[in-house]
Amino acid sequence: SSLARALIRALTAPDEEGTYAVQYGVYDGISTAEGVLTVTVDPQAPDLAPIARDDRLSLADVVGLTQVEVEVLANDEDPDGSRAGLRVSSTVTGVRATSAGTLVIPVLPDAQVVAHTITDEQDGTATAFVRVPGVASARPTLRPDLEELHVTAGEELLVDLADYVVVGEGRTVRL
């Protein structure tokens, strides 16, 4: 959970090569569990590749746009470095990687799956995909950025569906 991640303490590896035992405790508000981690310090340890995860956009993310900028690094990581050291690239025609680690992807009539590669500071790589819905054949979708509607019993609430439902380009919302 996010709370558990917030409580994890960073450990600094000893300067001396060897195997070390690190005792730890975990408390969940009711009970405690303890254990021992074994840490091996090896100056010849191999570098670890970064971890790239797929991203998926909704129709609401792209409708009305000609291109979309996707923060692909937001869910990626570098196990032996920092996310700030990751670089993004893509060989897909029309897709542009930025120095901020985002991809600028054209929005097309048909759905697309865009491959991209992340590279860490040791030149390790990993590949993932961004799914971008097409705007021509998209199904009606509720806009995710709006608050719920509430109405008191016996009262009337008029709703313009076009304000709450996103449809593909050239289509109109109808009941």
Tens-digit pLDDT profile for residues 105-162: 999 999 999 999 999 999 999 999 999 998 886 678 787 778 888 899 999 998 888 8
Q: Model-level pTM?
A: 0.67
Q: In what order do the strands lie in the sheet with 96-97?
A: 67-70, 103-106, 96-97
Strands 55-56 and 67-70: unpaired
Residue appearing with tokens 């971008």: 132
12-58: per-residue pLDDT in tens? 777 888 998 888 888 888 988 889 988 888 888 888 999 999 999 98
What was the pLDDT predicted at 100?
93
**Amino acid in position 143:** R
Cβ–Cβ contacts within 10 Å for residue 152, how many? 7
pLDDT tops 70 at residue 7: no
Helix (H) or strand (E) holding 32: strand 32-41
Instruction: Please provide the average confidence, as pLDDT, over all residues in the chain.
Output: 87
Strand partners, 106: 67
Which one has a higher pLDDT value, 104 or 137?
Answer: 104
Confidence of residue 1 (pLDDT cuts 50, 70, 90): very low
* Buried/exposed code over 121-140 (b: 16+ C-beta within 10 A; e: otherwise): eeebebebbbebbbbeebee
